[in-house]
Amino acid sequence: MSSLTMKTIGQADATPAYLARPSLAVIAMLFCGYLAVGLPLPVIPLFVHDKLGFSNLVVGLVIGIQFLATVLTRGYAGHVTDHQGGKRAALQAAAFSALGGLLYLVAAIQGLSPAATLAIVIAGRLVAGLGESQFVTGCVSWSIASVGPQRAGMSMSWTGIAMFAALAIGAPVGMGLYQQLGLQVAMAACIVAPLLAVCIAFRATSYVSPAGHRLPFYRVISQIWREGLSLMLQGVGLSGLTAFASLYFAMHGWGHAGLVMTAFGIGFILMRIVFGYLPDRIGGYRVALWSLAIEAIGQAALWAAPYEIVALGGAFVTGLGCALVFPALGVEALKRVLPANRGSAMGAFVAFLDIAYGIAGPAAGLVAGQFGYAAVYLLGAASAVLGAVLVLISRRSSAR
């Protein structure tokens, strides 16, 4: 019983005790579920553009529509999590994700017109977006419930690693399946991954959110918007890195643009593994403040980089800075709501990051068009600094 620390406050004796570490079953389920997000990412643009013959604009809309579905259903995901538990939300997520994969597989069948095929793909993206929102909200809340609020920061660090690893692994695996075995096999993998998550979930212990007064979703947003806005500003740097690093490196004649996300990922995962406990130990606002400052330094290094090695170092430092912002601000956001509203709070909190990724890309594109690719990283540095200022304001507001 050394891994169990205390009983869940306000629950009956039959309720499972808090764990000393986040439930590995929940982390594994989130990883498998998020593979369904990563697997089709590089495949669908090629399918829509090269096979169906649609324009780049249509490709962008098809990819972006899942983001829209995810944002618009965060409130529903939080409601399910608060009322029925993170396990129920995660199981529903798996069902929606598998349905999305099934629609992708139907679209891959030959004989349909391009317009009909595109409509099925779009339907699959919308359904998959509903699954993604519930996977993240449900599993993050479920993981926090397994360890208790005193280890919420560590829990969010672990779940973040699971999602990042699933994207990093899922995208190349999906591309490999597409190139070696064909589109239908790649799309079938999008069904298998969430079904694996279901198999894991059925053997996992359920942890239900505490009972109490539950607020409407808009009221929850009004309580955590400062932390959410700081998180949104942190996302600007990562968006610029993913969207324009290859073009920035090509402009300079640097040949290792493929290592940019590798450098970022090493810094990100290293920081979460080694220092993921810090938000719980020394406070979320303090960790977020230093993290945003580090991110700003990394973005500034990218902006002013005279050599390729400096730019790659800037990507690594950006990863160090971005790593703990989500768990640090998430810890503080959870403190602002009653325990019964933690699922809705996490849904609202993650929605701010969704919005950041949706807005920052086009904004960075406008900046790049007017001032050059380097200015994208100056924008990222300025956004991180502004996020740090908001953290200071939030900390003072919380103290009052």
**Are 240 and 377 contacting, i.e. CB atoms less than 8 angstroms apart?**
yes
Amino acid at 377: Y
Supply the pLDDT for residue 9.
Answer: 36
- Class of the CATH-defined domain 217-399: mainly alpha
| Residue 365 CB neighbour total at 10 angstroms | 14
Do 24-202 and 217-399 come out as alike in CATH topology? yes
- Per-residue pLDDT band for 400 (boundaries 50, 70, 90) equals low
Per the structure block, which two tokens stand in for 142? 């479920």
Calpha distance 158→280 (Å, rounded): 13
Q: What is the pLDDT of residues 269-295, one digit of tens each?
A: 899 888 888 888 888 899 999 999 999
> Would you say residue 303 has pLDDT above 90?
yes
Residue 15 has pLDDT above 60, yes or no: no
Domain boundaries in the chain? 24-202, 217-399
Residue 3: what pLDDT?
A: 37
**Lowest-pLDDT range of 13-27, 229-243, 334-348, 360-374:** 13-27
Predicted TM-score (pTM) of this structure: 0.73
Name the average pLDDT for the chain.
83
**24-202 carries CATH number 1.20.1250.20:** yes
Q: What are phi and psi of 52, to 5 degrees?
A: -90, -20
Q: Give pLDDT tens digits for 233-273.
A: 998 888 888 767 877 888 898 888 768 877 888 888 899 88
Are the C-beta atoms of residues 39 and 190 closer than 8 Å to each other?
yes
Angle between helices 308-323 and 260-275 (to 10 degrees): 30
pLDDT at 360 (0 to 100): 75
**pLDDT (tens digit, 9 = 90+) per residue, 69-104?**
888 888 888 888 877 888 888 889 999 999 999 999
Closest CA to 90 of 16, 15, 211, 201: 201
